[in-house]
């Protein structure tokens, strides 16, 4: 387990932390804790770069306003890069920064955990004989 002293507390992206010590888990969750952030990161990991409408289609049940706000937040946190690919008509493409791509093992672990454990719980009556 890593030492919490590896990163100075004032460099943590979270504005609060559990307990008195700097907490890497809390800071990581502060970066990806919004409902759509992990999904957006996951889709950009799968596709490298996507334009707004393509990303919206990949994410699914998200409004354009929420997608725009989420992308702005992820860009502010230096996880997503926004590049204008044409001026007329304006076309913007979103991709992950190196920092965003470094979340791949986290997203992969979340996906694997979900595949393994997010199944309906078996009741005592359903147990195998």
Q: What is the pLDDT of residues 48-98, one digit of tens each?
A: 999 999 999 999 999 999 999 999 999 999 999 999 998 888 899 999 999
pLDDT at residue 117 is higher than 80: yes
Domains of the chain by residue range:
1-33, 36-112
Q: How many CB atoms lie within 10 A of CB 87?
A: 7
Q: Which residues fall within 8 angstroms of residue 34, CB to CB, at 6 or more apart?
A: 70, 73
Strand partners, 49: 95
10 pLDDT tier (thresholds 50, 70, 90): low
Answering whether pTM is above 0.85, one says: no
Q: How many CB atoms lie within 10 A of CB 29?
A: 12
**pLDDT given for residue 129 in this prediction:** 42
HSE-CB at 16 with a 13 A cutoff on CA atoms is 1
Closest CA to 34 of 4, 79, 96: 79
Tell me if the domain spanning 36-112 has CATH number 3.40.50.720: no
Average pLDDT value over all residues in the chain:
83
Q: Supply 98's token pair.
A: 């190196």
């Amino acid at each position: 387990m890593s030492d919490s002293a590896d990163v100075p507390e004032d460099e943590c992206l979270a504005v609060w932390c559990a307990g008195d010590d700097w907490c890497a888990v809390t800071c990581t969750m502060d970066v990806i804790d919004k409902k759509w952030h992990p999904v957006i990161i996951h889709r950009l990991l799968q596709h490298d770069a996507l334009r707004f409408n393509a990303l919206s289609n990949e994410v699914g049940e998200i409004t354009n306003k929420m997608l725009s706000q989420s992308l702005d937040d992820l860009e502010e946190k230096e996880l997503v890069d926004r590049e204008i690919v044409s001026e007329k008509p304006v076309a913007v493409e979103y991709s992950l920064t190196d920092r965003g791509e470094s979340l791949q093992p986290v997203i992969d672990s979340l996906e694997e955990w979900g595949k393994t454990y997010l199944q309906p719980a078996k009741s005592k009556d359903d147990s195998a004989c």
